[in-house]
Amino acid sequence: HESVGAAWSAYDNGQYGGAVNAVEKLLKHKDEKVKADAQYIADLLNGRMEMNKAAAKIYRDGGELEKLVALLEGDAKAFSGIDYAKDCASEAKKTKAGKAYKECVEAREKLERLTPSLKDMKSSDALKALNKLAKEFPDTPAGKQAAELAKEYEK
């Protein structure tokens, strides 16, 4: 059926919101084969959405706010046209405006600038720099990474 093809094409092209809207109509179709094909696509879409919701929870709970925002912004675009996309866009915007997100970005940028110069530093200086970053941003992924890297210089 051509409308199943259109729904599949939308799914295949990462236009999940369009696919969801197309599938919802097809699930009410008279033809059982069309309904079955639509259900298959609906299951794929629901699986993707649930997988991303689970990943978002892991990122949220683990303080991986940059990964969270990237996932949410991606889903806001891919699922455009349905409420889930609006929820993702809203949470992404709110997260980016928060202090914790800004600290994640700042800590990552500082660690990215520091890392290349570590090998040229005296161990004691590298240790000091990494511990400073870890202490300044203890709840960020980069702060935790700096603390782990510091252990290598504690010899």
Contact assessment for residue 53 and residue 44, using Cβ atoms and an 8 Å cutoff: no
Tell me the pLDDT tens digit for each residue of 9-28: 999 999 999 999 999 999 99
Give the residue with greater pLDDT, 139 vs 1: 139
* Confidence band, pLDDT 50/70/90 cuts, at residue 154: confident
Would you tell me the crossing angle of helices 65-78 and 99-118 to the nearest 10 degrees?
120
Q: Is the pTM of this model over 0.95?
A: no
For residues 112, 118, 123, 127, the Cα torsion angle rounded to the nearest 10 degrees is: -10
Contact assessment for residue 67 and residue 78, using Cβ atoms and an 8 Å cutoff: no
Residue 13 CA to residue 22 CA, distance in Å, equals: 14
Position 1 scores a pLDDT of 78
Which residue in the block uniquely carries the two structure tokens 């806001």?
A: 76
Paired tokens of 25? 């109509």
Residue 155 has pLDDT above 90, yes or no: no
Q: What is the arithmetic mean of pLDDT over 114-133?
A: 94
Would you tell me the crossing angle of helices 2-12 and 32-61 to the nearest 10 degrees?
20
